[in-house]
Structure formats: C-alpha cells, structure tokens
Amino acid sequence: MTRKVAIVGSGYMGGGIAQIMALAGADVLISDVSFEVTENNRKRLLEEARQFVADGLFPADAVERIEKNVQSAPTIEDAVAQADFIEEAVPEKIDIKHETLRRISAAARPDAVIGSNTSTISIGALAEAVTESGRFLGVHFSNPSPFIPGVEIIPHEGTQADAIEFVRALVSATGKESATVKDVTGFVLNRLQYALFHEATKLLDEGVASAEDIDTLVRTTFGFRLPFFGPFAIADMAGLDVYNFCYQSLQTDFPERFATPKVLSDLVDQGKLGTKSGGGFTDVPADRIPDLIAYRNRAYVKLQELIKELGPAPLS
C-alpha cells in the first residue's frame, strides 16, 4: 500500500487504526486536539507495538515500520491536506464529530475519501458536515482495532460507488475483512451484539442463570461456532425446520418476543430446510456437504485445542 492516510483522533481506536495502516505500508499522519496530545499518543502506540512484538502479536519489525510510517501532524488541517483517505476517530458525540468533519472537509483535497469510525451515529447525519458528501461513509473498526479482523463499511444514500470500492480495497490491503451494510440505527454489528446482551440481561433479571453461567453457555455452545460461521450458515446446518419448531416452542411463553421470522417460515414452506435439502439461506451443493461437515468438525476441535493452550481468561 502506498496510500497517504490521515487519522484524526489518535486515542486507542485511532492509534490502533494507524498501526494497522502503517504495517500495511501506508504513510500515516495522526492528529488530535493538540500537537502535544498527538505526540504523546504516537509514543504510546509505539510502546504498545513494542509490547505486541514481545508478545508475538506483531511481526518482529513492526516497531520500526510504525515509527517510520506514522508521524504526528501539528494540526488536523496539516494531517489531512495531502491524504488519499481520512479516518475520523474522535469521541462518539455528534457535535464533536460535526465540528471535526467540517475542519477535515475544508482542508482535505476534494477527491479525498473520508470515513468515520462511529459505531452508532447515523452516517447520513454525519454527512451533513461534509462538503462533497459523496466521498463520505462509515468505516467502523472494532476494539481492539489491531486484532479484530472485521470492518463495517456503511455508505449513506449519497455515497458514491467508487468511494465504497476504494475503502473496501484499502481495508483488504490491511489484511482485514469488510462487510458493506445500510445506514440504519446501530448498523449490523451493534444491533446483533446488543440483541444478545439484551436477552442475556433478561435471563439474569429473571433469575434463570447467573452472569457467569450465561457467559459459559454462550462461549461454549453457539458462541463456539461463531468464529467460523454466521447465524444463517449455522441455521442451515441445524435445519430450518428445526429452527421453525424451536420458535413455536419459545412462543409458548414468549409469543411476541420470539415470533417466527417471516423469511424463515417462507423458506420452510418452500421446502428449503438448509443443507439437508440443498437450499436455505446459503446454497451448498450436495456434493460439498461432506466437506463442509468435515471442515466444521476440524474447526471446532482446533478451537478447543487453542482454548486449552491459552488457558482460562483472567476474569477472576
């Protein structure tokens, strides 16, 4: 990657994004509320990188590459002036983001693509502060940004297609994987994450299980599948008719909370029951099903071996 990248907001999220961009070969300028803050954050991310190398999490030459490729800019305007891509990573308050995006827009090249790392604020609402807003979109990295591989790309209604493709290529060059989603409240990541948390708190409030036992069940059952398969692939392998029946059982006590999704009942009515029928949310050819099952089983065994190697998380 030979792109020039500016990161506006050099805290833990912005600093982590700067690290991965630098390791991918980009020339990165970081900026913050003052040059002093920016310089201190640059020192911090270099110290973090040294620890990551010592822990075997970054390549051996990571500190040298980051030190060479990440520089502090005196101001936001200096950081963005020549950038091909600018990532805004300031606090999650719309007034702060609006003010920052106005400054970025005024100083950036007109063809520079501008992204926001917001996790909750409407991209369309943020775009109001961006001139030539067709070049603006959400580019949502997750914490800790050096190590979480997925990135949400969120265009608003006016985002140009070439800006989306530019960002997808940029993210891919860092070794991460992107998914493009619509600009709706919570996007995808947080709607799913908070749906699970919401139901977990209900189980806790109702005295069904302790927080520790709920966490244990999530990480050792369906959560164990999630590094390899998303919810639709998992449902297809379980059988959509099974899911349909389970919804009916849940409706005994929770008729509204667990109403059967129409898309599920429609597929079942069509005889599309998942991998066992050759069609569902995913399409797996019949001759590939044995390969899929073999992959699934190997993946779960390998994950269990990794967990044993790492030992339990130091939560208590």
Structural domains for the chain: 4-180 (3.40.50.720), 221-310 (1.10.1040.10)
Report pLDDT for 315.
87
Residue 177 forms beta bridges with which residues? 150
Task: Report the pLDDT value the prediction gives residue 1, as an integer from 0 to 100.
Answer: 55
Query: Would the pLDDT of 298 be above 90?
Result: yes
- Which long-range contacts does 283-290 make (Cβ < 8 Å, 24+ apart)? 284/236
Alpha-helical (H) ranges within 9-122 are 12-23, 35-54, 62-69, 76-80, 94-107
Interaxial angle between packed helices 231-238 and 289-310, expressed in degrees from 0 to 180 and rounded to the nearest 10: 120
pLDDT band with cut points at 50, 70 and 90 for residue 316: confident
- DSSP secondary structure letter of residue 284: -
| Alpha-carbon gap, residue 37 to 52, rounded angstroms | 22
What tokens were used for 223?
A: 């959560």
Q: Is the pTM of this model over 0.75?
A: yes
Token reading at 33? 């509320």
Q: Provide the residue type at 121 as one letter.
A: I
Give the whole-angstrom CA distance, residue 129 versus residue 67: 33
Nearest to 236 by CA among 264, 283, 274, 268: 274
Cβ contact 48:15 at 8 Å: yes
Buried b (16+ CB within 10 A) or exposed e, 5-21: bbbbbbbbbbbbbbbbb
Residue 164 has pLDDT above 90, yes or no: yes
Mean pLDDT calculated for residue range 152-174? 98
Contact 127, 156 (CB under 8 A): yes
Mean pLDDT for the stretch of residues 258-286: 93
CA distance 277 to 283: 10
Mean pLDDT of the chain: 96
In the prediction, which pLDDT does 279 show? Answer: 86
- Token pair for residue 185? 């409240």
Q: How far apart are CA 73 and CA 75, in angstroms?
A: 6
**3-state secondary structure (DSSP) of residue 180:** strand
Q: How confident is the model at residue 277 (pLDDT cuts 50, 70, 90)?
A: confident
